[in-house]
Amino acid sequence: MMQNRRLLRVMAISIGVVLGATTMTGCSDDDGTVEVTVGYQSKTINTVTAGTLLKARGYFEKALAAETEKTGVRYDVRWEDYDTGAPITAQMLAGKIDIGSMGDFPLVLNASRTYPQADARTELIATTAFNMAGGLNGIVVPSESTIEDVAGLRGATVSTSVGSAGDGLLAQTIDAAGLQPTDIDRQNQAPSVGATSLKAGSVAAYSQFAPWPAQEVWNGDGRLLVDGATTANPTFHGVVVGEQFARTQPAVVQAFLQGMSEATDYLHAQPLDAAKEVAEATGLPLEVVYLYNGPFGIANFNMALKPALVTALQKDSDYLRKTDGTIDPHLTSFADDSHLKRLFGEDYAQMLDSDINQAAPGTVQEGCGDSAGENGPPSAILWKGEAGASFYGTPGCLLAAATKADAEIRAAYVSDGLTGTRWFAEKSIWTYDPAAPTDKRWAAFATAENASKYASDKPESRQYTFAGAEEFSRASG
C-alpha cells in the first residue's frame, strides 16, 4: 500500500510542480491569431478521432478556417503528442494545453488535480470511444510464462503506467482476486518501456491500455492473461478542455467537436481506410489498429457522454482513493455535455441511447448455414493485398473459410465466447463442443481463463490452437 501511495504522490507532485511556471495558451499573438494547443496520444488508438486521425485529416483546422471566414479571427493549432494522460494533465495545469484526450482513470486525476486551481480547472466535453464491458485494457504475460491466472501474479513484478487505465485494470483485478497492492511489485513505466521490459523478461506481466496489450500479443512477445472485459466495468477515453478556455473560446470548442464528429463519421464509413491512415501515422501494425477500430472492434466510437460512463468514473475514483486520499474529482461538475448538445441538437438523445458500433461492416458471407448476428458479432478475415475484409456469421464459418481460402490471410478476428471482446483468431484458444448445436460448436477465447470457464460445464469439449482448429475443420469437411 505504501509503495502505491508513493507512486501516486510522485505523480501528483510532478503534475503540481509545473504550476509555478504557468503560461496560458488560448491567447492571441500580436497579430490577433489565437493559439490553440491540443494534447493527444497518437498510439492510444481509441482516441484517434480527437488525435491521430483528426490531425491527419485536418478536420479541426478546416472547421477553424470556416470560423475565420465568418469572423476574420485567425487560429494557429499546435499538436503535442504524449505516451499517457498524466503529462497532458501536467501541461493543462501549467496552462500550456487547451484541449486534451485521455483514459478514464487519467480523467479522474485530471479532474481532481485541476479543480483546486480556478484558472486551470477542466471539464469533460466528449467521449472518443468506449467499451461497456472494459475490454479496452488488458494484462499480458510473456508467451512462455507459466502464470495462468491473476493469483499467479503474487510476488511478481508488473509493469504499468501509474494512474493510467491499465493501472486501473491492475488495481481492480488484484482486488477481485483477493490480493493486496503489496502482493505485487508494481513498476511505473511508460507503455513503450514496459513493452521492452516484457520482451526482455525483466517483468512478469504488463498491464496497459489500448493498443499495447494487443500489440504485444500480435508481435509474439506475450499472451493475454486478463481480458479487461471480465471486470464488467465500462472503460472509455474522453476529451477535456480548460473551463476558462471554453468560456473565452467557445467557437474553438465547437470547431474541435465538429472536427471530431467528421473524424468519427469517416472511421464509421471507411473503417479499413481509417485504420490504414492511423497505422501509417503511428507505425502501429494495421492488424492491431483494425482489431480495435474496425467493424465490431473493441472500441466503440460515439462522442456522447453516456451516464454509464460518467458513473464509471466514480468507481475509478473510489479505487484511486484507496491509495491516495486526496483524490476528489468533483464529478458532478466535471462532465459537461452542453457543447455536444449545441453541436448535435436533437440527434444527441439518440447518440446517448445507442451502444451499437457504427463502424460499417462488409456483407456477411452466405452459404455457411448460419444466420448473421444470431451467435454474436460476425467474425472477420482481413486479407493481404487490396481484397479488404470478409465477414462470417460464426467462428465456425470463419474456420471453414480459412481452410478453403486461396488468398493469403493477413489477420483474422473473432469475438470472445464469454466476454465478447474482439481478438485475433490466430492468438485465441479455440473450443469445440460436439454436444452443441451445429452453428455453436466452435467458440474462441482471448484468454485461457475465459476458455476454461466456458468449458467448465461442457465435458465433451476440446481445446485447440487456431492451426489445430483449422486442421480439425479441414478433416471434418
pLDDT of residue 271: 97
Q: Is the dihedral of CA 400, 360, 417, 299 positive or negative?
A: positive
Could you give the 3-state DSSP secondary structure of residue 287? helix
Dig out the grid coordinates for 168 from the structure: 486501473
Distances from the Cα of 75 to the Cα of 33, 37, 54, 211, 282, angstroms = 5, 11, 16, 32, 26
pLDDT of residue 371: 54
Q: Does domain 379-476 have CATH number 3.40.50.10800?
A: no
Could you give the 3-state DSSP secondary structure of residue 282? helix
Cα distance between residue 451 and residue 278, in whole Å: 32
pLDDT of residue 382: 97
Contact between 289 and 411 (Cβ < 8 Å): no
Cα distance between residue 18 and residue 12, in whole Å: 11
Pick the CATH number of 137-231 from 3.40.190.10, 3.40.50.2000, 3.40.640.10, 3.30.70.1560: 3.40.190.10
| Model pLDDT for residues 287-310, shown as the tens digit of each residue | 999 999 999 999 999 999 999 999
**Mean per-residue pLDDT of the chain:** 92
pLDDT of residue 217: 99
H or E element that contains 467 = helix 466-476
User: What are the boundaries of each domain within the chain?
Assistant: 2-132+234-353, 137-231, 379-476
Cα distance between residue 49 and residue 303, in whole Å: 9
pLDDT of residue 332: 84
Average pLDDT on 261-272 reads: 98
Contact between 380 and 389 (Cβ < 8 Å): yes
pLDDT of residue 477: 66
Fold: same for 2-132+234-353 and 379-476: no
Cα distance between residue 100 and residue 372, in whole Å: 39
Contact between 291 and 426 (Cβ < 8 Å): no
Cα distance between residue 155 and residue 234, in whole Å: 28
Q: Does domain 2-132+234-353 have CATH number 3.40.190.10?
A: yes
pLDDT of residue 372: 52
Cα distance between residue 140 and residue 215, in whole Å: 10
Cα distance between residue 1 and residue 183, in whole Å: 9
- Asked whether the predicted pLDDT for residue 125 surpasses 70, the reply is yes
Could you give the 3-state DSSP secondary structure of residue 39? strand
Q: What is the b/e burial string over 259-283, where b = at least 16 CB atoms within 10 angstroms of the residue's CB?
A: bbbbbbebbbeebbebbebbbebbe
Residues 6+ apart with CB under 8 A from 475: none
Average pLDDT on 132-154 reads: 97
| Model pLDDT for residues 357-413, shown as the tens digit of each residue | 999 887 888 667 555 555 578 999 999 987 799 999 999 999 999 999 999 999 999
What's the pTM value of the predicted model, to 2 decimals?
0.92
Average pLDDT on 270-288 reads: 97
pLDDT of residue 370: 53
Lowest-pLDDT choice from 32-41, 294-303, 317-326, 329-338: 317-326
Nearest Cα neighbor of 243 from 70, 110, 352, 105 is: 110
| Model pLDDT for residues 172-203, shown as the tens digit of each residue | 999 999 999 999 999 999 999 999 999 999 99
What is the pLDDT confidence band of residue 29, given thresholds at 50, 70 and 90? low
